[in-house]
Structure 1
């Protein structure tokens, strides 16, 4: 996703939409008498009147100002609320100025009161509810902005009031007059809502406002047709004025669709255009040599005879295969050949042109030519040539050959027709034979050497004879003899003298090269057969003595190993490790290898497929299925193993990442780290074999066995995990995803660290070695240290933070850290120094160790070596585990004190306390 696209998404705003009002009741609509209920009958009176636009309407008026102690009520008919929480009342009325009325008592008023009464149905009568403030709920005292006198009639006031929250099926409005001379011209009851709108290519439905004027009501959104989510959740807030605000999340048009001109819809690409990716981009014309007649195309298919390579992007032009290379020139030198050629006239429109050279040997009987033997050397290589020149060696003499020079590019494999090529036919010349391989001494006497040799590997014709050259060591003069066969006897030599011997072969083309010089000596004995017999007992005796020494060494080694194994298995493993590789072993990141296959071959053992038997599928991993099976290797007892498979259709990147985890595991050898047995990279599917952990993942194992273990057993599990992490930390290795789900448990309750998919190597050249993850990396928020979340800085100290969370998971028997809080709330709480409380019945010393692991300053957190030492002391002093904390699971704790208003509660009620306290202390982020 490009940065321009991200900036475009962030710039999207909600379109300006005026608030929408929906009327529940309007007295101006009445065409007959309103017949509202009045009390007493001498109070309010219904009359016909006119509104401010002089349209006829039904009004109510009252003017009993000359009589003191007025209490006149007017009640509307039942008004259904239609599910809204807050309603508005618009009142149009006029009030006469008391000063303009002569001879009235001091009780004259210029105001009236507005009330409402909720009900589940139209059940009100002339006497019920009672005509008083309770059960009616007062909304406000309404006063005019302007009153009128007899000379200034017609001044109409408009007032709007709102009330809520409403909870019943409907309500009545009531108006109380306490001695005013007024006219209630019209009453309109309505509510506000945000109308249906489209923002960021998401549709948000019509939404009524909340119960309070300041309420924000969340409206969930859905992408418009032919759009997809790019950030979630999709939601928009409707404020109390019926206006949309604060859009969250966005959608974008899928491939084959572009934004409409008004930016609210995704419309299909017209025929002849396409859009290959989702996003804000627009449809573009089909690339060269491609076309489409369909609407909404995300790719333009290539025309006949044109293709795209698998690595070509969908918006690239279609290309074709190249023509044959031009002007192939050959030059024969005896049994060697030089070939040169020019680039094809048409490369097919591609720049990835390479060449193949195919050698064929042709017999003289006009039978079809066949592929050359493998011993024919074509340099620099036969296939995938970038340069346009090769040298061919090791051809046979006097032989006819045919060479095809092919031009291929990235789409040649798409064409069903074989690559086009240019052909050159040559015949090799006569050539001297190759060198005689070696010379052997068959027998020696005091004056003769009996020699034999193998013919040259390449005679290049009929061998006429062999020449044997010899001279006495230290003498410059040499002598030669010839032989018609591959053996000869050299005579006339001096007894007991060393000689240097060489042999070469001759054909009609001349002599070949001499063999390598060999040293042979004549014998001092007259009978060479007897000399050999005399030496035979000595040879046999020496061989027997050597065999005895070897057997003795083997026995001693076996005894020593048995003695070492008589101790503890851990002690034996540690001694063996010290013996094999003394000193500190440092982890090597396999992803630094240029060829990932080199890493897997260096750190993992290749297992033959015949040794593995898959029995059943026990789960699913990121790359494929996880199975249980058996491994039987030669010289080893059959064992149950876990088998990870790489699913079919994988990409090269998936294969590299899959085997990368094996390259990491293969470097570890510790009782508390999962052991790699080997890999199968030549099979289909590709397999990773590890030891089998009978009880599976630690978190689910604890949940299945809630409350069944003693605290000592739980601390023993934690000690094993800490020991494994100490081993990894000592190797400069950061796990980054330490959690109970990534700890495996065997049948003996031994816990082992596993799942190294997020791990990376620490650069130990600096004092503060860290690993910076990519911006798109996934981070397990609930288990990750704050500096790793904020700055993507992962160290062994961040692993210590995660280990503290694992401690909490173990003691709480697999409960979810931070319960049902959102990730955002978790990050905010941790930043404000809130920490997980001790689980129920948690020893005080364990929770104190957890809090040390969760220190905000990473340099203040304990090292894994100290954690192991602390847990060892607790296991030796079990009494310290009996002092438990008084705070139960479910309440967040602030470092240095508890939350405001904290009381001891049961686990069931404590989560509600957390929510209340968080709402009081955490800022609201919209």
Structure 2
């Protein structure tokens, strides 16, 4: 029974800690029930004759004497105020007010009238000093802040049960030292029994081996930094300290973001509330969440808190072994050593040791000693003896030796080794044997000659040695390419049982050196002198007729391929002149069926199937939301971190689907993921994955640090050179070229839908209006009559009028994006209405070049805005044109002259506003979108527009206008003022 209780006790400790840590603590700022003297709060009444708040003594529900305020008005047209003393907030940003009161029912009052009320109002007023008087602040809703109109749940009536009401209201946010509470009665008959003011705070708690202090929430959520419990540490030197968030209700809202782990030799216990030392006989190798483990085999520890175990005597760990591996020992000696001698060569075989020492890295080595006599002294054999496969590090149990001297006694010792043999003081164990060699009589072979030769083979033969001392078992040939030399790596060997051999697999027209030797019972003899032989053809051979025939056939095939290629090019060119869009599809067909084409997710019978096919599901535990950075059509957009096991953690953007969504909203939300998941391009926003298995539903994409392109350009007005802007445009065009090649139409291409990362790489995003190219779309948004969700300022005329969305309409939108980029985020068509834009385009009006826009770029914009969609360039042409400009930066210095460009009455409306056309300096700065400098102008004394005429660049620098683009915009407007005033000064240059 005692053992069972010990096992359950930690669970009770964990449950108790969780309950205590999850209950919010309250700190009371004021409680009238505990006051023993008069409250002496301030009252106010507009008419002295009316009933006022009166402080009286009363009894609470426990019959304790308390100070209360009561009032019973006969005229509800006047307001009766009651204000408390200053209540210090003690650092709290949100406080709670608990009111206990009684209210008499209007029908039970003897002086019942129409203005009788059964409610009262609660206000508060913040102040850094206790400066409230009978007349300050004024007794009205402003400067007082209204909290709520309090209504009674229980009303007192004649003969009825006496019940009091309890209401708890929240005040905030509080920013000053303290605040006053104010009560306003307008026709009520009530008694204010008690007022308790308090705030909630998160109690000190231990979670995941981290201790978090008592925390007062300063905002919606308050970050608290914890420390590790004793004998615990953070996972790494770069890891952040553990953090938790305290909610405004005094509850800890989530688990620690970065947990601590127990140090080496300690394990988590009591539900991760403490780190306990490993008991004797157990260890824990490093810091982490794992438990203690018993010592490995043949090791021990007698201390608690051990990070490793010590090997027992006679056992060791190799230098490459980890500290948690078992201890091992050297192997025993090899067994059953068996020799096979052939005069001056020897083959040794043996059996494995009885005991391998508990390791698998067993190897063998051979020790060779030569002895003068069987009983005499022995010395090392030296370099004259050769070993195959090796003398040491042998994995098998067989070795061949040759080069021994005849009639000589040798001692051979075979040693068994493993990874800990070098650590043993006794040395490796071995088995020895004595061998005496026989007589070695050499058999020499000579007279090698060539019989036949081809381009890849040689047929050789030689004379059989006359009357050898032993019978010849076989011959061995060694042949080497003469250019490489006779080294072991450039030579090959071949055996033959007769005095003839065919050497095959040789190189054409190559010289080979060949040697031969004989093998007898006494071993191999020496190699014969080398002789040279050459494969065909020789230097004096004429060219083969077959080779000439092959060359002629190859030339004919090359000519045929060239003719076919020219024919295909002419067909493509003719089709392209007829219909550029059709030629794109023909090119894809001719290139083969491996072209990837976009698939509309709405063509699936079940759209969820498209999501599963094109978007990867991510486990919600891999994503951590850090902050909200914006709002989208379906919910919030957040910045967070994504850490997938085995991959580096990186920042991501997270789109969330707000609660209460319908099935259609969920499908529309996830359709963007099934679209993005089909694209892989450096200028298309990359989809990391989706989360649909938990709430909220999320789409995870790569994080773009600089946000939307239009706002980024406006923020950095004038800060980029033309070559940098063209580089951005080239990236956008490359992404759109990729989309068009996949038969995909974006439909909403605009600078607001282009995202920029920290390296100024622009990527196409936001596929909310995008659809697959279809002639007969069933979506009323794109096929209905004029109206609907179309971005008029960026849309081609045929798409506005007939819903004809193609890659050509995306080219029109790209021209508008070019104008946005070169004008640093200016709104296309400025303040013209959508209908004015449609009418102007029908009258062939086109946007003029932005200030200092290169002429070639504006001409490319005009090409994109051709009325006939077949006359517009394709994205492939646009990318090529921009590449030419980048390779020739001097072309970007040619800008449109004043007055150049298309003539149209609407252009006259676009001249920059001058100070004279505005009523004040502030109005002028706002008109040219330079309102950020209004305070600087006014502080420097520029209070009227007449004082601006003589401003120059140095004056603007003193005013804090340091950006070159902003200086030019301000000075350009002032220059227009001087022209109007016929001023001779020129302050631009």
Give the structure-1-normalised TM-score: 0.50
Counterparts of 1:19-58 in structure 2, within 5 Å, are 19-39=24-44, 43-58=52-67
Counterparts of 1:253-264 in structure 2, within 5 Å, are 253-264=262-273
Q: Which residue of 1 aligns with 2:369?
A: 360
Cα gap change, 1:34 to 1:193, in 2 (>3 Å): same
Cα gap change, 1:881 to 1:312, in 2 (>3 Å): farther
Picking from 329, 345, 362, the partner of 1:320 is 329
Say yes or no: does 1:308 pair with 2:317.
yes
Q: Following the alignment from structure 1 to structure 2, what is the Cα–Cα distance between the partners of residues 304 and 438?
A: 67
Cα deviation code 1:471-497 (max 9, x no counterpart): xxxxxxxxxxxxxxxxxxxxxxxxxxx
Q: Which residue of 2 aligns with 1:398?
A: 407
Picking from 683, 701, 720, the partner of 1:840 is 720
Cα deviation code 1:617-654 (max 9, x no counterpart): xxxxxxxxxxxxxxxxxxxxxxxxxxxxxxxxxxxxxx
Q: Which residue of 1 aligns with 2:91?
A: 83
Q: Which residue of 2 aligns with 1:332?
A: 341
Q: Which residue of 2 aligns with 1:287?
A: 296
Say yes or no: does 1:189 pair with 2:197.
yes
Cα gap change, 1:905 to 1:289, in 2 (>3 Å): farther
Q: Which residue of 1 aligns with 2:646?
A: 776
More displaced, 395-404 or 839-848? 839-848
Q: Which residue of 1 aligns with 2:732?
A: 851
Q: Following the alignment from structure 2 to structure 1, what is the Cα–Cα distance between the partners of residues 710 and 700?
A: 14
Picking from 44, 56, 71, the partner of 1:62 is 71
Say yes or no: does 1:429 pair with 2:305.
no
Cα gap change, 1:328 to 1:510, in 2 (>3 Å): closer
Q: Following the alignment from structure 1 to structure 2, what is the Cα–Cα distance between the partners of residues 403 and 866?
A: 82
Shift of 1:291: 1.4
Task: Check the 8 A contact 1:800/1:863 in 2, yes or no.
Answer: no
Task: Check the 8 A contact 2:106/2:117 in 1, yes or no.
Answer: yes
Q: Following the alignment from structure 2 to structure 1, what is the Cα–Cα distance between the partners of residues 244 and 374?
A: 86
Shift of 1:310: 3.7
Q: Following the alignment from structure 2 to structure 1, what is the Cα–Cα distance between the partners of residues 369 and 293?
A: 49
Cα gap change, 1:909 to 1:402, in 2 (>3 Å): farther
Task: Check the 8 A contact 2:96/2:168 in 1, yes or no.
Answer: yes
Shift of 1:184: 1.0
Picking from 296, 301, 306, the partner of 1:297 is 306
Say yes or no: does 1:827 pair with 2:703.
yes
Q: Following the alignment from structure 2 to structure 1, what is the Cα–Cα distance between the partners of residues 526 and 167?
A: 121
Shift of 1:54: 2.7
Q: Following the alignment from structure 1 to structure 2, what is the Cα–Cα distance between the partners of residues 372 and 125?
A: 114
Q: Following the alignment from structure 2 to structure 1, what is the Cα–Cα distance between the partners of residues 516 and 301?
A: 74
Q: Which residue of 1 aligns with 2:429?
A: 420
Q: Which residue of 1 aligns with 2:890?
A: 878
Q: Following the alignment from structure 2 to structure 1, what is the Cα–Cα distance between the partners of residues 961 and 701?
A: 19
Picking from 157, 163, 169, the partner of 2:165 is 157
Cα deviation code 1:145-199 (max 9, x no counterpart): 1111343363110011112111101111122233322211111111122323344
Q: Partner of 1:31: helix, strand, or coil?
A: coil
Shift of 1:138: 1.9
Q: Following the alignment from structure 1 to structure 2, what is the Cα–Cα distance between the partners of residues 504 and 183?
A: 126
Q: Following the alignment from structure 1 to structure 2, what is the Cα–Cα distance between the partners of residues 401 and 119?
A: 107
Cα deviation code 1:547-598 (max 9, x no counterpart): xxxxxxxxxxxxxxxxxxxxxxxxxxxxxxxxxxxxxxxxxxxxxxxxxxxx
Q: Partner of 1:121: helix, strand, or coil?
A: coil
Shift of 1:47: 2.3
Unaligned runs of 5+ in 1: 1-11, 440-459, 461-501, 520-772, 784-789, 803-822, 887-900, 912-926
Unaligned runs of 5+ in 2: 1-14, 449-468, 470-514, 532-642, 654-672, 686-698, 743-762, 764-873, 897-909, 911-926, 934-959, 964-989
Q: Following the alignment from structure 2 to structure 1, what is the Cα–Cα distance between the partners of residues 78 and 342?
A: 132
Q: Following the alignment from structure 1 to structure 2, what is the Cα–Cα distance between the partners of residues 305 and 863?
A: 77
Picking from 174, 177, 180, the partner of 2:185 is 177
Cα gap change, 1:864 to 1:246, in 2 (>3 Å): farther
Q: Following the alignment from structure 1 to structure 2, what is the Cα–Cα distance between the partners of residues 165 and 433?
A: 108
Cα gap change, 1:369 to 1:910, in 2 (>3 Å): farther
Q: Which residue of 2 aligns with 1:373?
A: 382
Q: Following the alignment from structure 1 to structure 2, what is the Cα–Cα distance between the partners of residues 144 and 389?
A: 102
More displaced, 854-863 or 366-375? 854-863
Shift of 1:80: 1.0
Task: Check the 8 A contact 1:341/1:389 in 2, yes or no.
Answer: yes
Cα gap change, 1:248 to 1:868, in 2 (>3 Å): farther
Q: Which residue of 1 aligns with 2:222?
A: 217
Q: Following the alignment from structure 2 to structure 1, what is the Cα–Cα distance between the partners of residues 188 and 137?
A: 24
Q: Which residue of 1 aligns with 2:139?
A: 131
Shift of 1:348: 1.1
Q: Partner of 2:257: helix, strand, or coil?
A: strand
Picking from 210, 225, 228, the partner of 2:234 is 228
Shift of 1:414: 3.1
Shift of 1:359: 1.6
Shift of 1:319: 0.9
Q: Which residue of 2 aligns with 1:561?
A: none
Q: Partner of 2:722: helix, strand, or coil?
A: coil
Task: Check the 8 A contact 1:234/1:248 in 2, yes or no.
Answer: yes
Task: Check the 8 A contact 1:92/1:187 in 2, yes or no.
Answer: yes
Shift of 1:363: 4.0
Q: Following the alignment from structure 2 to structure 1, what is the Cα–Cα distance between the partners of residues 524 and 186?
A: 136
Cα deviation code 1:323-346 (max 9, x no counterpart): 222332334332222323232232
Shift of 1:880: 2.7
Cα gap change, 1:233 to 1:902, in 2 (>3 Å): farther
Q: Following the alignment from structure 1 to structure 2, what is the Cα–Cα distance between the partners of residues 503 and 271?
A: 71
Counterparts of 1:690-769 in structure 2, within 5 Å, are none
Cα gap change, 1:78 to 1:258, in 2 (>3 Å): same
Q: Following the alignment from structure 1 to structure 2, what is the Cα–Cα distance between the partners of residues 155 and 796?
A: 68
Q: Partner of 1:297: helix, strand, or coil?
A: coil
Q: Following the alignment from structure 2 to structure 1, what is the Cα–Cα distance between the partners of residues 272 and 358?
A: 38
**What number of residue pairs does the alignment pair up?**
536
Q: Partner of 1:99: helix, strand, or coil?
A: helix
Q: Following the alignment from structure 1 to structure 2, what is the Cα–Cα distance between the partners of residues 263 and 243?
A: 20
Shift of 1:904: 7.9
Cα gap change, 1:516 to 1:322, in 2 (>3 Å): closer
Task: Check the 8 A contact 1:146/1:155 in 2, yes or no.
Answer: yes
Shift of 1:201: 4.0
Q: Following the alignment from structure 2 to structure 1, what is the Cα–Cα distance between the partners of residues 43 and 327?
A: 85
Task: Check the 8 A contact 1:223/1:229 in 2, yes or no.
Answer: no
Q: Which residue of 2 aligns with 1:411?
A: 420
Q: Following the alignment from structure 2 to structure 1, what is the Cα–Cα distance between the partners of residues 352 and 734?
A: 67
Cα gap change, 1:849 to 1:432, in 2 (>3 Å): same
Counterparts of 1:245-256 in structure 2, within 5 Å, are 245-247=253-255, 249-251=257-259, 252-256=261-265
Give the structure-2-normalised TM-score: 0.47
Q: Following the alignment from structure 1 to structure 2, what is the Cα–Cα distance between the partners of residues 254 and 319?
A: 27
